[in-house]
């Protein structure tokens, strides 16, 4: 009798674990969902795989937060940076992060966990990076340094409020058909001079 070999499972990486942790948080479990055994089950592996990559749960949380920063800030900025015109970059950025159906429950869950030191540090890093990027775009459009900073903060506040509404009360936001007009009105307000 010939025995068939089971296909070998691919070796998990630290990134696989970090992505699984982010998925668990995103699905509504919050930081409490970042637990080794349930994540191992989700990934179809053992706790040994976890300990191969991480010394403890806090190290996994740190890796997951670093991945979140990379995917939800750095990669988005890199994508809109391909647009040469700063005003078009600004519009492309807001279209990308506010279009209907893009509210990220992960970010909102993290915002609700600011009492956790690692989350607070990641949110501070992301907030500063995003506001600095927006400030740079408004400066590139022609606003003074102070005006650019003010508009960068207003734009980021708009994004956070929009995200919260998109998650908690999506019916309060314009429909997909009304979204372009809504976004254009927002951009006109942010870009208005005087």
What are the Cα distances from residue 185, in Å, to 140, 155, 156, 182, 192? Answer: 20, 13, 16, 5, 10
Rounded to whole angstroms, the Cα distance separating 192 from 170 reads 27
- Per-residue pLDDT at 3: 63
Least confident of 78-87, 98-107, 172-181: 98-107
**134-145 as b/e: b if 16+ CB within 10 A:** bbebbbebebee
Alpha helices in the chain (DSSP H): 14-24, 36-43, 47-53, 57-69, 75-80, 86-98, 105-111, 117-141, 145-168, 179-191
Give the chain's mean pLDDT. Answer: 91
The per-residue pLDDT for 180 is 94
Question: How much is the average pLDDT of 176-188?
Answer: 94
Whether residue 185 is predicted with pLDDT greater than 80 in this model: the reply is yes
Tell me how far apart the alpha carbons of residues 29 and 47 are, in angstroms, rounded to a whole number.
20
pLDDT mean over 109-114: 89
Q: pLDDT per residue over 1-57, tens digit each? A: 556 665 556 689 999 999 999 999 988 778 888 999 999 999 999 899 999 999 999
């Amino acid at each position: 009798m010939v025995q068939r070999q089971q296909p070998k499972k691919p070796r998990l990486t630290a990134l696989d674990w970090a992505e699984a942790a982010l998925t668990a948080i995103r699905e509504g479990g919050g930081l409490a969902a970042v637990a080794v055994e349930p994540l191992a089950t989700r990934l179809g592996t053992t706790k040994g795989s976890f300990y191969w990559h991480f010394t403890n749960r806090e190290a996994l949380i740190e890796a997951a937060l670093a991945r979140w920063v990379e995917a939800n800030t750095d990669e988005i900025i890199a994508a809109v940076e391909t647009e040469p015109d700063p005003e078009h970059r600004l519009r492309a950025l807001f279209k990308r992060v506010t279009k209907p159906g893009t509210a990220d429950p992960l970010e909102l869950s993290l915002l609700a966990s600011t009492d956790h030191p690692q989350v607070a540090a990641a949110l501070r890093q992301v907030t500063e990076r995003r506001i600095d990027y927006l400030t740079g775009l408004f400066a590139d459009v022609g606003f003074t340094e102070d005006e650019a900073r003010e508009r960068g903060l207003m734009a980021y506040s708009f994004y956070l409020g929009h995200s919260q509404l998109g998650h908690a009360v999506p019916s309060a936001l314009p429909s997909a058909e009304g979204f372009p007009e809504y976004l254009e009105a927002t951009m006109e307000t942010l870009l208005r001079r005087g």
